[in-house]
Amino acid sequence: MSLKNFIRPELRQKIWRWREAMFGLFMAACGMLWVVTQQGVLAAVGISLAIVGALIIFAGIQRTRFRVGRGGPGVVQVDERQVTYYGPHDGGSVSIDALESVMLEPKAKPSAEWILKESGGQPLHIPVNAENAELLFDVFAALEGIKTENMLTQLHAEPEKRVTIWQQPPRQLH
């Protein structure tokens, strides 16, 4: 009997959703064990490991909050600073470098969707629960000036109207 058959699929999915935070917890626990049981250099390495583990826990919790579900229409792909969405009825791609704004449309059917708009192009609508939509977290986190906590709060608050999550800062000409 394999380990895959030993754990119920629903539980396995919940554990997988929290994978980064659990990895950080494991690292922090190992680091703290070294701090308590070792001396000298290994204790210092343990402190570093515990700090890195705590940072991974923080990032893992944010990533978990970003994952709102699976089974939505279409597939997201991020490759060479290009976001591509393959949908059942539409799709397209946008360059991360040319993004002008990121919006959240909570009332879209069948589920909420991200709207990515690039300069001179058509907006790209991506359901928040599309396959591989969690890849967008890294894309959004890399945008200059984005407020990640605001994005996660709006994602779970289900606002009544479209919300601008991020907008390109105005360019300075001097």
DSSP 95-131: EGGGEEEEEEETT-SSS-EEEEEETTS--EEEETTSB
Name the residue with tokens 């800062």.
169
Average pLDDT over the chain, rounded to an integer: 90
Whether 172 shows a pLDDT value over 80: the answer reads no
- Confidence class for position 133, pLDDT limits 50, 70, 90: very high
Buried b (16+ CB within 10 A) or exposed e, 131-142: bebbebbebbee
More confidently predicted of 6 and 63? 63
* Choice among 33-37, 73-77, 105-109 with the minimum mean pLDDT: 105-109
**Residue 2: predicted pLDDT:** 63
User: Model's pTM, two decimal places?
Assistant: 0.79
* Measured distance CA(38)–CA(28) in Å, rounded: 15
**Residue 28: predicted pLDDT:** 97
